[in-house]
Amino acid sequence: MTGTGDEPFITAVKPLVDAMGGEMLPPDQAGEDDVVLTWEGADIVAVRLPQLADSLDHILTALERKQGKPLAELDRKAKQEIVRILEARGAFSVRHGVETVASALGVSRFTVYNYLNRENAAKGD
């Protein structure tokens, strides 16, 4: 993004930016909502964070890639684990999060709520 000595820093943060669905750009192109990363007193790279709804889609795609098949093809236990992971990552605080997850898992909203209730009951909440 800037000088050639910055590549190790950029290489180090790229997996994190990719995992959250962000975009890296030169610091001088940063908008007011972007996060500029500074290293040893110099602005190295700006990170444009995704909208929450886009993050959820990105997380679902990453989980599907990790599972090696569409989430809708997973068995019930695996789908419950996916819901647990998504709840821990705040997926259900996003508007239409339950509907988005239900669609990706190939289940009803009611089923997702049942998985959530089951998880919370297991925690003793």
pLDDT at 71: 97
What residue has token string 């820093």?
A: 9
Decide if pLDDT at 5 tops 50: yes
This prediction has a pTM of 0.63
Return contacts of 41-47, CB within 8 angstroms, 24+ apart.
42/2, 42/6, 43/2, 44/1, 44/2, 44/6, 44/9, 44/10, 45/1, 45/2, 45/6, 45/9, 45/10, 45/13, 46/1, 47/13, 47/17, 47/22, 47/23
Q: What is the pLDDT of residues 39-49, one digit of tens each?
A: 989 999 999 98
Q: What is the pLDDT of residues 54-69, one digit of tens each?
A: 788 888 998 999 999 9
